[in-house]
């Protein structure tokens, strides 16, 4: 996930790990204030969408329709919502106000990380994930080499990134496992739709769970049923279990015995 700007902006990514250091300051008084909120390519994670739609008092359908356009995750055919910039001369972010970000406390992960970008690498042989980061120096951003020296770890804490990790972890794993299959396997359209609904449209996924045969097919505890009705994050966690079971064949959800005997199991999305 990253903020991508004009081609003539200087972008020098420097690979870093969690203990790498960089020197950076970002203040309202700086001449470049909010330059990073214009003509930006901001991909949204599942956790971003849940926080932003709640903040704006919208359903996930409404939020996706009003504020996003469709993008694709790098080196995959997997879809991801991207913030739709305003149709003005500078292509400003729709959440930008005169005083700065209008949704600052719920700003997306990409904005929190900036000027860093974050990535994960899945080692198939070791079945482990490696996190890596990059420092992006763009010509319009005047914050580099000012202020105090920070480690990546400290920046993540300062910017409130840690709570996003757990929520987005299963989603990131799904993407990595898909990537590790290589570019030559095609995902059917219906599967891509399931992926999109499960990852980014929690309200629609909730309707799907309640209105389809889902609860007859899978064993879901009474406690979990109660949680998913009340809590978007609990519903997202169920969606991740469902996607891992259906897309990767993992045993993240238990199928009722009667259903298992009458194979194949299919729940229409």
Enumerate binding residues for ligand SF4 (CB under 6 A): 26, 30, 32-37, 40, 42, 93, 95-96, 101, 103, 107-108, 111, 114, 140-143
User: Least distance to ligand SF4 from the beta carbon of 213, Å?
Assistant: 39
Nearer to ligand SF4, 34 or 151 (CB): 34
Q: Are 96 and 34 in contact (CB under 8 A)?
A: yes
For residue 96, give the 3-state DSSP assignment. Answer: strand
Whichever of 103 and 161 has its CB closer to ligand SF4, that residue is 103
d(CA 230, CA 227): 5
Residue in the structure block whose two tokens are 């898909």:
178
C-alpha 154/C-alpha 110 separation (Å) is: 16
- Tell me how far, at minimum, the Cβ of 28 lies from ligand SF4, in Å: 8
User: Are the C-beta atoms of residues 82 and 43 closer than 8 Å to each other?
Assistant: yes
**Cα 62 versus chain centre, distance:** 18
Are the beta carbons of 267 and 212 closer than 8 angstroms? yes
- Residue closer to ligand SF4, measured from CB, 33 or 132: 33
Nearer residue to ligand SF4 within complex by CB, 29 or 263: 29
Q: How far is the CB of 174 from ligand SF4 (least distance, A)?
A: 24
Q: Could you give the CA distance from residue 171 to residue 188 in angstroms, rounded to a whole number?
A: 19
Q: Least separation, in Å, of the C-beta of 87 and ligand SF4?
A: 15
CA distance 179 to 189: 17
Judging by beta carbons within 10 Å of its beta carbon (0-12, 13-18, 19+), is residue 144 exposed, middle or buried?
middle
Q: How far is the CB of 69 from ligand SF4 (least distance, A)?
A: 14
Q: What is the dihedral of CA 12, 13, 18, 20, to 10 degrees?
A: -30
Which CB sits closer to ligand SF4, 40 or 175?
40
* 26/192 with CB nearer ligand SF4: 26
Q: Least distance from C-beta 35 to ligand SF4, angstroms?
A: 4
Is the CB of 32 or the CB of 253 nearer to ligand SF4?
Answer: 32
Q: Smallest distance from the beta carbon of 33 to ligand SF4, in angstroms? A: 5
């Amino acid at each position: 996930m990253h903020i991508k700007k004009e081609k003539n902006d200087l972008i020098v990514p420097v690979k870093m790990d969690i203990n790498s250091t960089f020197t950076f300051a970002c203040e309202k008084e700086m001449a470049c204030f909010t330059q990073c909120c214009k003509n930006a390519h901001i991909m949204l994670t599942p956790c971003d969408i849940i926080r932003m739609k709640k903040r704006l008092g919208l359903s996930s359908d409404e939020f996706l329709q009003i504020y996003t356009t469709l993008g694709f995750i790098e080196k995959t055919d997997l879809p991801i919502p991207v913030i739709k910039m305003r149709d003005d001369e500078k292509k400003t972010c729709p959440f930008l106000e005169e005083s700065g970000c209008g949704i600052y406390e719920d700003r997306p992960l990409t904005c929190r990380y900036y000027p860093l970008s974050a990535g994960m690498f899945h080692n198939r042989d070791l079945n482990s994930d490696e996190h890596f980061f990059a420092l992006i120096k763009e010509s319009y951003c005047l914050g580099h080499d000012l202020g105090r020296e920070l480690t990546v770890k400290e920046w993540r804490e300062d910017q409130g990134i840690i709570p996003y990790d757990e929520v987005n972890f299963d989603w990131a794993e799904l993407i990595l496992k898909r990537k590790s299959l290589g570019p030559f396997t095609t995902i059917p359209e219906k599967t891509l739709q399931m992926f999109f609904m499960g990852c980014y449209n929690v309200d629609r996924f909730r309707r799907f769970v309640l209105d389809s045969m889902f609860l007859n097919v899978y064993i879901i505890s009474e406690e979990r049923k109660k949680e998913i009705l009340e809590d978007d994050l609990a519903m997202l966690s169920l969606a991740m279990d469902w996607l891992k079971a259906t897309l990767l064949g993992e045993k993240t959800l238990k199928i009722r015995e009667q259903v298992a005997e009458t194979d194949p199991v299919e729940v229409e999305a």
